[in-house]
Amino acid sequence: MGKKIRNTLVFLLLLVLVGVLIYPRLEVGKFSSNSQTANKPKDVPVVKVKVLDYQVFEDKIMSNGTVLANETVELRPEVSGKITSILFKEGDYVMAGTPLVTIYNEELKAQLRKLEANKKLIETNEFRQKKLLEKEAISQQEYDVAQNQLATINAEIEVLKEQIKKTTIVAPFDGVLGLRLVSLGAYVSPNTVITSLTNFNPAKIQFAIPAKYGHLVNNGSTIRFSTESDNRIFEGKVYAIEPKIDEATRSIQIRALCPNPSKQLLPGAFVRVELIIQKTEKALLLPTEAVIPEMENHKVFVIKAGKAQPQKVVVGNRTETEVLILQGLNKGDTVVTSGILKLKKDIPVKIKEVI
């Protein structure tokens, strides 16, 4: 029994001795850990910034439109008859006044020859009556009858000449001919389409904008546009604005002209249009993600003395990627464009990149 007690006491003494040796080291480690945590520097936000400078800003309205020919017409005869000659080839470029098709007119020419022959007799009679009137051998009424006969036949001759003229179809303006829709010897009437004629230069661009923007557009306003088949950007000028609003779409139809000497813009092509309604030479622009919307205004963060400072701004129109700043910033200000969610007033920041 005494031996067990001694063993127990020895074990307890060993435990106490181990505790005395280990405790100071635990306290020192704890203090060291707390000291390192307390002295560890806080993370500084890393941001991207933009140094503001003046840029050119174009306020635009986007729309879709269609290419129209400068002039286009379906050529039809003015009189009925049989085609006696076809004087053109499909796809030819022709000048205004070029004969294209003739219609049978021999009967009309015969009538004209008959009238011209009668005219000679009537002219001779009128001359004689005039001489007799001068000698007072006939009355004024008799001479007036002869003079009226001459005027009547002259009018009939003019009518026939115009009818004969209508038997030849000519190009009304310079342009390119379309496909031929008739054959030699075919009987045609005013309802028959012979072919088409198109003038490509300049091309007309027709598009529509919402009526609320109508007051911002004037003749001479610039448009830029592209087609589905061509990545090039074309430029034109507005020349006509519909004076009324389309009740169905609440939009206004607009037309612009664009040079088209090489016929790269074909009538009927779909176009994407940018109508430039205002151009600002000295504009301050920011990426849209740099502007923070608030209840009644907007704000950005600017860097001053290495710290972030909130700044209220007034914004204007936007593009797909940028927003126009109207008030609140000046040229040379350094504005945060990324990492904004980490920022607070007076917090130090580290600039990663300047855009």
Whichever domain contains 137, its CATH number is 2.40.50.100
Looking at the structure, tell me whether residues 123 and 86 fall in a common domain.
yes
Whether 13 is in a domain gets the answer no
Tell me: do 259 and 178 sit in the same domain: no
What CATH number is associated with residue 286? Answer: 2.40.420.20
**Lowest mean pLDDT: which of 66-70, 265-269, 314-318?**
314-318
C-alpha 352/C-alpha 45 separation (Å) is: 10
What span, in angstroms and rounded, lies between the C-alpha atoms of 79 and 92?
A: 24
Domain region containing 129:
75-197
Is position 126 within any domain? yes
349 shares a domain with 275? no
Task: Specify whether 155 is located in the same domain as 293.
Answer: no
Give the model's confidence band at 317: pLDDT under 50 very low, under 70 low, under 90 confident, else very high.
confident
User: What's the confidence (pLDDT) of residue 17?
Assistant: 59
Q: What is the pLDDT of residue 45?
A: 84
Express each pLDDT in 176-185 by its tens digit: 999 999 999 9
Residue 7 lies in a domain: no
Q: Which residues of 320-345 are buried (b: 16+ CB within 10 A; e: fewer)?
A: eebbbbeebbeeebebbbbbbeebee
Residue 2, pLDDT above cutoff 80: no
Whether 218 is covered by a domain: the verdict is: yes
Domain boundary among 156, 174, 197: 197
Ramachandran class of 184: left when φ > 0, alpha when ψ lies in -120 to 50, beta otherwise: beta
Condensed to tens digits (0 to 9), the pLDDT of residues 38-78 reads 444 457 888 888 988 988 888 888 999 999 999 999 999 99
Q: In the beta sheet, which residues pair with residue 68? A: 204
pLDDT score recorded for residue 163 = 94
pTM score, two decimals?
Answer: 0.67
Tell whether 276 and 286 lie within a shared domain: no
The answer to whether the peptide bond before residue 202 is cis (omega within 30 degrees of 0) is yes
Per the structure, the count of domains in the chain is: 3
Q: Are 47 and 309 in contact (CB under 8 A)?
A: no
Are 118 and 212 within one domain? no
CA 61 to chain centre: 9
Supply the pLDDT for residue 244.
93
Res 31: pLDDT: 41
State whether 96 and 152 are in the same domain.
yes
Place of tokens 């009424």: 141
Q: Which residues contact 288 (CB under 8 A, 6 or more apart)?
A: 318, 321, 322, 323
Statement to judge: residues 99 and 172 lie in one domain: yes
Residue 95, token pair as written in the block: 């000048």
39 located within any domain: no
What's the chain's average pLDDT?
86
Q: Are residues 346 and 289 in the same domain?
A: yes
Do residues 334 and 302 touch, judged by C-beta distance below 8 A? yes
Which CATH number do you get for residue 221? 2.40.30.170
In a domain, 91, yes or no: yes
The verdict on 81 and 177 lying in the same domain is yes
pLDDT at 277: 82
User: What are the beta bridge partners of residue 222?
Assistant: 237
Q: Domain check: are 136 and 241 in the same one? A: no
Output the pLDDT for position 7.
Answer: 61
Residues listed for the chain: 355
Encode pLDDT of 213-244 as tens digits.
888 899 999 999 999 888 889 999 999 999 99
| Structural domain ending residue among the three candidates 174, 197, 220 | 197
pLDDT tens sequence across 7-40:
665 566 666 555 655 555 544 444 444 444 444 4
Domain boundary among 255, 280, 305: 280
182 shares a domain with 95? yes
Q: What is the pLDDT of residue 14?
A: 62
Q: What is the pLDDT of residues 73-121, one digit of tens each?
A: 999 999 999 999 999 999 999 999 999 999 999 999 999 999 999 999 9
Is there a domain that residue 322 lies in? yes
Is 112 within a domain?
Answer: yes
User: Does residue 342 register a pLDDT over 90?
Assistant: no
